[in-house]
Chain A
Amino acid sequence: MSITLKVNGRIHTLDLDPSTPLLYALSDDLDLRGPKFGCGLGQCGACTAIVNGAAVRTCITPVRAAVGKDIVTLEGLGSPEKPHPIQQAFIDEQAAQCGFCLSGVILTAKAFIDKNPKATDAEMQAALSGVLCRCFTHTRMHAAIRRYRKAVSR
């Protein structure tokens, strides 16, 4: 079936079973590197994309549910030459080890802070309660997110 998706500002028409999880459309059909398969169960965040402003776990979201919506992946935020402020904050804090979890961490935090620029540390932490980083770069990641919060709430 023909499915039309708007990803990182561009329109793509794909031939897909509409029940296919969005993750595979993004990472396989569109060859995007941001969203990644971590668990396929909605438990880790590695597959996260921002859909209409909300962080969504694409591994458990059927592609049909994303039709007509604005989908942004980690590469859609900024580039190595021109990183988005939250990406710059992660670079400044050197907030990664292997970096595999970054879609989940950065996009979940961004979607939350953009809506709640005055969030407290505790609220920020609660927003990340289902996101995993097994390298445990937590301290730096939270510092980076606080840096972004400061920039946004200014």
Chain B
Amino acid sequence: MKRRDFIKSAGALVVGFSLADHGAKAQFGSAPIPGSPDNRQLDTWIAIASDGTVTAYSGKEELGQGISTAQQQLVAEELCVRFDRVHLIYCDTALTPDQSYTSGSQSHPANFNHANLAQACATAREALIAMAAQKLGVPAEKLTASDGIISGNGKKIAYGKLIGGRKLNLTIDPNAKRRDPKEWKVLGKPVGRPDMAAMATGRFEYVHNLRLPGMLHGRVVRPPVVGAKVVSVDESSVKDLAGVVKVVVRNNFVGVVAEKPWQAIQAAEKLKVVWSRGTALPKQSEFHDLTRSQPSRDTLLVDSGDTQSALSGAAVILKTTYEHPYQMHGSVGSSCAVADVQGEKATLYSPTQGVWYQKTTGAMILGLKPENVHVIFRRGSGCYGLNGADTVSYDALVLSQAVGKPVRVQLSRRDEMAWENYGNAWTIDERAGLDAQGNILAWEHEAWSPSLGNRPGPSTPGNLVTGMLLGFEPARFSPGPARPPRAYSNNSNGVPSYVAGRVGGADQGTGTVRSERVLVHNVVSPFWTGPLRSPARLQNTFAHESFMDELAAHAKADPVAYRLRHLRSERVIGVLKAATQAARWDARPSPKPGNPQTGVVTGRGVACVAYEGENGYTGIVVEAAVDQDSGKVMVKRMWVGIDAGPISNPDGLRNQAEGGALQGMSRALGEEVTWDDEKITSVDWRTYHSLPLGFEIPSVECVLVNRPDEKATGAGETSITVVAAAIGNAIFDVTGVRIRRIPFTAERVRAALRERE
């Protein structure tokens, strides 16, 4: 059969590739951007003023997830000062350390363990005590710090007196002692967010609200279809419109600048641009099958080499396919940035997750030296990953450079949704063999995932639509066969929780199944892709946890007991038990016996994960009702067990777990990027289906598993990872029908129920 490639003409859309793992850590390494402060130096992280207030500098930013509150708590705790005496500054390339992207559930592990911000504060506290010991003539062991004052033997001195306004000039001491969680006064407490009142009263300044003197407003004109190029632009079509300052055309980038936003919007709509025809897109209905025949770059995550023989000895072999669509970040506010490019210098106010990479790639776009580009993070609408923030930042830079004045750009709803870097689609085959008792003998996972572009990293602005329109290329895609796995990484959760994860002679997974093989095929996507909350982890977990349920049903075993039978990680077991105990789990095999085949019936489903293999743990139980006449799925209750190591802020953790559970439910029930033969057709909230505030909201009960002696792990992306599988498992429990494709729309469920009959 002739291979039908997605991308026919090489010129239209340049191919790109991204690793199955989208984590900034793995993708870009830890090499800091030249010119960034030395992360080993204490003064990079903290400064103490003469009034004793502490300014902390962090490379992990607030995106709405609450991490700034937790970081402020951390600094207050380790330095023994009051919470409100800490001022936190994050993500400004003139002031703060380069900690790569704020993404991938890396903020909690990066700054709350024995490195970076936490260790800098611990080092500073010990140094201050040593200084005080000398000043006061009291041995350090006799001194304690509290509320910014060091005291002992009836003597005391304030931090401000000791060091106020001067540099510490020390390097981080990896042996400085962190404060014992048993003695925490600020950390570990449900401290409220300091930004909450400003947000609730409309005072908070988002990047959207930034107003610079003399600022103009830009609007971009994106191609009408995928792959179209500029043939001609008729500037005279808008020259009579009020307020229009300039039409900007650079390669295939088109934009307008006007005095006011509404003028820019109207000008962008009226501007006559002739575009070439686009690239023919693959049929959406055949898409998952087509991905299998694309040229691919293959990765083996585990391979025990014996799955074939183990399967041939199995009493029964099960094989199924799961399909997950492209989904979008779909921020409530379309993305916005403000740039001020004056000659050789540029300042960018951006909601980007990576200020340092905007600095280097922004410089490439402007043709300036990176040291002359200053990037300052300003909060935008919640992003959940790579939304339009980075691309609109480029838009603002280009338009500002063209007029030499500050320019604010906010994308239209359509431009945000049609061109963002979507969460990847996945096609996943699962195969397992069971012995006569129903135990799993071997597990094979083979997956296909298309990608194009990604985060820009230090030097790839072409990974985003604006960069591509300007003439930059996305990261190159090079197909190639898999090599035997050398080091174990389950960053993408490609390896199911129930296998041994044996690489290099050691079992590094969380399960017991010794015969294992996980093969991932990366292929080229016709659409932009990039990390969306729990990238790859969510899709893989949907497949693994659905399949585990299918195996349990086949073995006529209770799905929780069956999981426990194949798990050996205490932490996965811990969250699974936490959720099932809270839910008073009804232990029995699925489907629920005796359910009628019509009307509304309820059932329950379970799922769990070791996020990224070891970066956070969640178990979930979902109680769902299915209207078997309409196919509508109604989630009634959810119980989430969550373990992120030592809990830094229980209310913040709860907020993340609850939001993740409901966002996961929206993604599972309705969200899907759609397209026709030339363009994306899910371009607003009528065509992309997010659950609004008005839907029947399930109760969400979170059980926080505190592990004060473990390392801090990720927390923001764990609960969302398990929801789709748990809902699918509940649908199966209710109806006996297994739906292997997301989203579980009423039509899809109804069609599957009809087949049952």
- Taking a contact as CB atoms under 8 Å apart, the answer to whether B694 and A137 are in contact is no
Q: Which residue of A lies closest to B351 (CB)?
A: A98
Most buried by B among A17, A33, A74, A140: A33
**Within 8 Å of chain A (Cβ to Cβ): is B662?**
yes
Closest CB in chain A relative to B604 CB, distance in Å: 20
Residue of B nearest to A35 (CB): B202
CB under 8 Å from chain A, chain B span 388-413: 410, 412-413
On whether A100 and B332 interact (CB within 8 A), knowing A31-B211, A77-B201, the answer reads yes
Q: Is the CB of B684 within 8 A of A83?
A: no
Find chain B residues with CB under 8 A from A106 CB: 200
* Interface range for A: 35 or more
Is the Cβ of A36 less than 8 Å from the Cβ of B333? yes
Query: Is B574 an interface residue when CB atoms closer than 8 A count as contact?
Result: no
The complex places the Cα of A106 from the Cα of B209 at a distance, in Å, of: 19
Which residues of B sit under 8 angstroms from A142, Cβ to Cβ? 693, 697
Q: A129–B193 contact, CB under 8 A?
A: no
Name the interface residues of B635-671: CB closer than 8 Å to any CB of A: 651, 655, 658-663, 666
Contacts of A52 in B (CB 8 A): none
Which residues, 681 to 709 on B, are CB-close (under 8 Å) to A?
684-686, 690-697, 699-700
Q: Is chain B's interface secondary structure helix, strand, loop, or mixed overall? A: loop
Taking the complex as formed, is A141 at the interface, i.e. its CB lies under 8 A from any CB of chain B?
yes
- CB–CB A44/B332 < 8 A: yes
Q: Which of A101-142 contact B (CB under 8 A)?
A: 101-103, 105-106, 125-142
On chain B, the residues within 8 Å of A77 by CB distance are 201-202
User: Which residues of chain B are near A76, meaning CB under 8 Å?
Assistant: 202
A139 & B699 in contact (Cβ 8 Å cutoff): yes
**What's the nearest-Cβ distance from chain B to residue A43, in Å?**
4
Contact A139 B205 (CB under 8 A): no
Say how far A63's CB is from chain B's closest CB, in angstroms. 10
Given A37-B208, A79-B201, A96-B199, A134–B697 Cβ distance below 8 Å?
A: no
Q: Per-residue 0/1 for A40-55: is the Cβ within 8 Å of any B Cβ (1 yes, 0 no)?
A: 1101101000000000
Range of interface residues on B (Cβ < 8 Å): 35 or more
Distance in Å: Cβ of A109 to nearest Cβ of chain B? 9
Q: Give A73 to B572 CA distance when docked, in angstroms.
A: 47
Indicate which residue in B196, B332, B380 contacts A94 across the interface (CB closer than 8 Å).
Answer: B196
CB distance from B221 to the nearest CB of A (A): 16
Supposing A91-B197, A136-B662 touch, asked if A129 and B413 sit within 8 A by C-beta, the answer is no
Check A153 for interface membership: any CB of B closer than 8 A: no
Given contacts A91-B192, A135-B382, contact A21 B201 (CB under 8 A): no
Q: Given A41-B413, A97-B64, A134–B384 Cβ distance below 8 Å?
A: yes
Chain A residues positioned under 8 Å from B202 (CB to CB): 32-34, 73-77, 102-103
A131's closest neighbor in chain B, by CB?
Answer: B693
CB-based contact B203/A138 at 8 Å: no
Q: A139 with B200: in contact, given A100-B206, A125-B696 (CB under 8 Å)?
A: no
The complex places the Cα of A142 from the Cα of B63 at a distance, in Å, of: 22
Determine how close the nearest CB of chain A comes to the CB of B716; give it in whole angstroms.
10
Q: Any chain A CB within 8 A of the CB of B677?
A: no
Chain A residue, CB-CB nearest to B698 = A139
- The 8 A CB mask of B322-344 against A (1 = contact, 0 = none) is 00000001111110000000000
Query: Bound complex: CA of A137 vs CA of B690, how far in Å?
Result: 13
In the complex where A40-B413, A43-B686, A97-B64 touch, is A20 in contact with B262 (Cβ < 8 A)?
yes
Is B381 on the interface with A (CB-CB < 8 A)? yes
Closest CB of chain A to B741's CB: distance in Å? 22
Q: Is there an interface contact between A80 and B692, defined as CB atoms closer than 8 Å?
A: no
Contact A96 B200 (CB under 8 A): yes
Cross-chain contact A80 with B203 (CB below 8 angstroms)? yes
Can you name 17 extra interface pairs (CB under 8 A) apart from A78-B201, A97-B64, A134-B382?
A24-B262, A27-B209, A33-B203, A37-B261, A37-B334, A40-B413, A44-B685, A83-B197, A87-B201, A96-B64, A99-B200, A100-B206, A102-B199, A128-B694, A130-B692, A137-B655, A138-B693
Q: Which 3 A-B pairs have CB atoms at the shortest separation, nearest pair first?
A: A98-B64, A129-B694, A34-B202
21 A–B contacts, CB within 8 A, in A order: A17-B242, A27-B209, A28-B262, A33-B204, A36-B333, A37-B208, A40-B265, A40-B412, A43-B413, A74-B201, A79-B201, A90-B200, A91-B192, A94-B651, A125-B694, A128-B694, A131-B694, A132-B690, A132-B692, A134-B382, A135-B64
Interface residues, chain A, CB within 8 Å of chain B?
17, 20-21, 24, 27-28, 31-34, 36-41, 43-44, 46, 73-80, 83-84, 87, 90-91, 94, 96-103, 105-106, 125-142
Contacts from B to A (Cβ < 8 Å): 63-66, 192-193, 195-206, 208-209, 211, 242, 260-262, 265, 329-334, 379-382, 384, 410, 412-413, 651, 655, 658-663, 666, 684-686, 690-697, 699-700
